[in-house]
Amino acid sequence: MSHTAYTYAYLRPSAVHSTATGDTLSLQTSGGTTPAGRAGRPRFFAGFLTNPQVAAAGLLSVADTAAARYHRPQNRASLDPVVTGNGDRLRFESFSGCCGVYARLDLLDEALDGDDIRHGTTNVDVNAPLADALGRVGPGDPLHLEVGPDELAVTTFDGPVVEKKVPLPDRWLRGFAETQVIASGFDLRAELAAADAVRFLRSLPRPNAARGASRGALWAVPSGRTLRTTARAVPGAVCLAGPERLAPLTRVLRHATGLRIHGPRVAAGSAPVASAWEVLLPGMRLTLTLSPDTARGFSGEGGVLDTLAAEDSTDDADLVSVLLAWEPTVDVGDLAAQSGLTPERVRAALTRLGTAGRIGYDVSEAAYFHRELPYETGRAERHNPRLRAARALVEAGSVRFDGDEPATVTVDGRVHRVRSAQGRLTCTCQWWAEYRGGRGPCKHVLAVRIARPLTPADHPPEPR
């Protein structure tokens, strides 16, 4: 697995400390991006949490996900969560070490009482002593929140910074890109009241270190006011692959006001798919998005590859990017009107921007949102193995267009036939036979799309 070392640099460790006005949760930030450009240690908010115990539990859930590895568990350094200020909320995001679980805590405006929420994205330090302190926050304890050091602390600081050096896998960055594409195809499938949600979640299998991660998938089916589980997909069901991966939700269950479950439409006997589990909290939302299998990270799903193979989306992405303004909800129709592009081209541009970590998707509001991951732009695209292989095939002259079929692709003397069927390109290779497009196009289909602009019949179905 390709990765490079990434260094977080903080003025001091994040901590809960006592001040003259009470306890303060001071979250330290590392290098990030703001409307003014790159910032060493941006500050996004200072004020009180209206529900400090709930917020503390939610932050711990995001940190739990960052520290977890559900497929082939092993000890490893976790990546500090990403925080984005969108003007009316703070979003904390993380991925599990195996890249199969994406967690996001949204602290909405009603959860925050203080200064204006600034705009930008950075990493935030979450360390073991901080986690211990957050676990001790009580229901009646007033808690002041600082996200980022104040200007005085930055200008007067002259000591050594706190550094964390961690491996930054390419697949972790690709996971951010894939989840926004996958989640944009979800619909709300079920909604449970608090008591019913707690009973259902507590009835699921518990994590078991000796047994390891579960294999196969359960399916959750609406049944009256609750859900029942089955071993096979039925219409209206939501996939629950590796139910132990919902364990981070247990920290917030006693504060839950409801549960919403999101997923794609499935038919009887469908293969496992991703799903999103959203716990509603006072002034907050905690969402876990699960990959279709514990052994299957989001990075290999291939949902962004069709767009990346279409070079004409590059200019569209450049145009759309200048219209983004750290909005908490990005309206495709508004962007289309401002840019003069069709909604389909705007969505393709957003997908391309998502590969650089600049776009996320919120299933609760069925809308994209703007962020800027504090990592190297374009790296996830450049290092995508299927995309690299497809471009190598084109450069080697392996793609030939002839006859009634769109193309043939020759690899090591073996001929693969790429055909157009039911609005998408198919292939005779082993990858297509195994996944039937369920994990994105194979390298041969990508090579054809790179070598020749798509005709209307070849376009993949538009996301909903």
- Evaluate whether residue 379 is within a structural domain: no
The answer to whether residue 212 scores a pLDDT higher than 90 is: no
The answer to whether residue 336 scores a pLDDT higher than 80 is: yes
- Evaluate whether residue 364 is within a structural domain: no
pLDDT for the residue 185: 92
Which residue segment(s) compose the domain that 453 sits in? 384-464
Residues 78 and 10 occupy one common structural domain: yes
Residues 135 and 261 occupy one common structural domain: no
In SS3 terms, 394-456 reads as HHCCCEECCCCCCEEEEECCEEEEEEEECCEEEECCHHHHHHCCECECCHHHHHHHHHCCCCH
Q: What is the rounded CA–CA span in Å between residue 165 and residue 188?
A: 39
Task: Read off the pLDDT of residues 373-382 as tens digits, 9 standing for 90 and up.
Answer: 877 656 666 6
Compare 140 and 92 and report the one with higher pLDDT: 92
Helix (H) or strand (E) segment spanning residue 378: none
Strand partners, 4: 168
Query: Hey, what amino acid is at 132?
Result: D
pTM of the model: 0.87
Task: Read off the pLDDT of residues 214-229 as tens digits, 9 standing for 90 and up.
Answer: 667 899 999 999 999 9
pLDDT for the residue 460: 47
Nearest to 17 by CA among 112, 137, 123: 137
Nearest to 172 by CA among 304, 305, 78, 83: 78
Residues 58 and 141 occupy one common structural domain: yes
Residues 78 and 133 occupy one common structural domain: yes
Give buried/exposed letters for 161-173 (b at 16+ CB in 10 A, else e): ebebeeebbbbbb
Residues 115 and 202 occupy one common structural domain: no
Residues 249 and 146 occupy one common structural domain: no
pLDDT band for position 160 (cuts 50, 70, 90) = confident
Transcribe 347-372 into DSSP letters.
HHHHHHHHTTT-EEEETTTTEEEE--
Task: Read off the pLDDT of residues 21-39 as tens digits, 9 standing for 90 and up.
Answer: 679 999 999 988 999 888 9
Alpha helices in 292-363 (DSSP H): 305-309, 312-321, 332-339, 343-354
Give buried/exposed letters for 325-348 (b at 16+ CB in 10 A, else e): ebbbebebeebbeebebeeebbbb
As a whole number, mean pLDDT of residues 96-124 equals: 93
Q: What is the rounded CA–CA span in Å between residue 221 and residue 46?
A: 43
Task: Read off the pLDDT of residues 227-280 as tens digits, 9 standing for 90 and up.
Answer: 999 999 999 999 999 999 999 999 999 999 999 999 999 999 999 999 999 999
Q: What is the rounded CA–CA span in Å between residue 197 and residue 186?
A: 20
Tokens read off for 234: 């039925």
Tokens read off for 351: 């997908």
Other Cβ atoms closer than 10 A to 419: 16
Residues 19 and 151 occupy one common structural domain: yes
Residues 219 and 257 occupy one common structural domain: yes
- Evaluate whether residue 340 is within a structural domain: no
Last residue of a domain, one of 167, 200, 225: 167
Number of domains, the chain = 3
In SS3 terms, 40-71 reads as CCCCCEEEEECCHHHHHHHHHHHHHHHHCCCC
Q: What is the rounded CA–CA span in Å between residue 280 and residue 188?
A: 14
Last residue of a domain, one of 167, 196, 211: 167
Residues 162 and 239 occupy one common structural domain: no
Residue pair 146/19 in contact (Cβ under 8 Å)? The answer is: no
pLDDT band for position 213 (cuts 50, 70, 90) = low
Residues 221 and 156 occupy one common structural domain: no
The CATH number linked to 60 is 3.10.150
Diameter of the chain measured on Cα atoms: 80
Task: Read off the pLDDT of residues 380-405 as tens digits, 9 standing for 90 and up.
Answer: 666 678 888 999 999 999 999 976 66
Give buried/exposed letters for 420-456 (b at 16+ CB in 10 A, else e): beeebbbbbbebbeeeebebbbbbbbbbbbbbeebee
pLDDT for the residue 109: 94
- Evaluate whether residue 16 is within a structural domain: yes
Q: What is the rounded CA–CA span in Å between residue 175 and residue 57?
A: 25
pLDDT for the residue 193: 97
pLDDT for the residue 174: 80
The answer to whether residue 464 scores a pLDDT higher than 80 is: no
Alpha helices in 125-186 (DSSP H): 128-135, 151-156, 170-183
pLDDT for the residue 463: 44
Task: Read off the pLDDT of residues 409-426 as tens digits, 9 standing for 90 and up.
Answer: 999 889 999 988 777 889
Q: Is 306 helix (H, G, I), strand (E, B) or coil?
A: helix
Residues 163 and 198 occupy one common structural domain: no
Compare 435 and 309 and report the one with higher pLDDT: 435
Last residue of a domain, one of 297, 312, 338: 297
Residues 27 and 155 occupy one common structural domain: yes
Q: Is 462 helix (H, G, I), strand (E, B) or coil?
A: coil
- Evaluate whether residue 211 is within a structural domain: yes
